[in-house]
Amino acid sequence: MEKEEREKWLLAGKVGREIRELGVSLCKPGAKILDIAEAIEKRTFEMGARPSFPPNISINQIAAHYTPKFGDNLELKDNDIVKIDVGASVDGYLSDTAASVSVGNSDNPLITAARDALDSVAKLIRPGMAVSEISAVIEDTITKAGFSPIVNLGGHGIGRYSLHEGEFISNSRNNAGVYLRKEGVVAVEPFATTGGGYVIDSSEIQILSLIEGKNVRSALGREILKYIAEEYHELPFAKRWIITRFGRLAELELKNLTAIGALNEFNVLKERDNGMVAQFEHSFLFDDGNVVVTTL
């Protein structure tokens, strides 16, 4: 791996760690999640990076893909289990990292189980290893603590301007015959739940990404699509970012762009049995046979 490329991966990880910990520190009773997200975004830019996706602030039964909507007034309450899932982009070199916190409560066994699963993976992960070995460790750690892994969420490979590519790292036992890459970056993200261990789509959608450019009749739609392509490439972005820049009419344009196949939607994911969910995640850099946890 070239030195410049490695340095950008490492800086993306450093920023990711910083904004993750900032988000966790702000999870207090009465805190507005919009304020937390905007603080994370501000710090990301201050550190010379950009968000690799909108800050996910997912609460209790919500497992992933919730970012505050435009004007969101949702506040955190005591004992909410909050997942702070964030990432940074340095010239398209990305990080992806997450931590969970129980608001106003430092001791939560579900959170401990998810954290322990990631810590166990960090001790054994190596370039080219079988993904099934990682999956078994995650499942065993979570089930021994009395909880269930979420079977249809998992880790993934990361590329330049590509948040999910290549290998899928399941949180449950499998015989998929998949191996980790020998060079590059992967993210491992154990999810533990008090439910049965399966997430489903909700109707809420606050995150989108570009699929491809399309012919658009509306002048505002063309302007928005051009901005998305130049600003985010194919990385996920928040509806509120576009509404903040272009005004409330942009919300209708985003619906139209989705309808013609220009944009992809990310439904908010909810545990099917309404179980509580905890998550932890690190990005791992493989280079010359070595492993660096970039977000540690």
Neighbours of 5 (CB within 10 A): 14
Q: What are phi and psi of 232, to 5 degrees?
A: -115, -10
Active site residue 281: yes
- Residue 77 CB partners (closer than 8 Å, separation 6+): 29, 103
Active site residue 231: no
Please identify which of the residues 18, 41, 116, 189 carries the catalytic annotation.
189
Active site residue 156: yes
Please identify which of the residues 41, 80, 271, 281 carries the catalytic annotation.
281
Please identify which of the residues 18, 41, 80, 85 carries the catalytic annotation.
85
Please identify which of the residues 38, 164, 165, 231 carries the catalytic annotation.
164
Active site residue 251: no
Please identify which of the residues 80, 156, 253, 271 carries the catalytic annotation.
156
Please identify which of the residues 41, 80, 96, 139 carries the catalytic annotation.
96
Write the burial class of residue 54 (CB in 10 Å: 0-12 exposed, 13-18 middle, 19+ buried). buried
Whether the Cβ atoms of residue 125 and residue 188 lie closer than 8 Å to each other: yes
Active site residue 282: no
Q: Are strands 290-293 and 50-51 parallel, antiparallel or unpaired?
A: unpaired
Alpha-carbon Rg for the chain in angstroms: 19
The structure tokens 């430092």 sit at 106
Active site residue 96: yes
Kindly list the catalytic residues: 85, 96, 156, 164, 189, 281
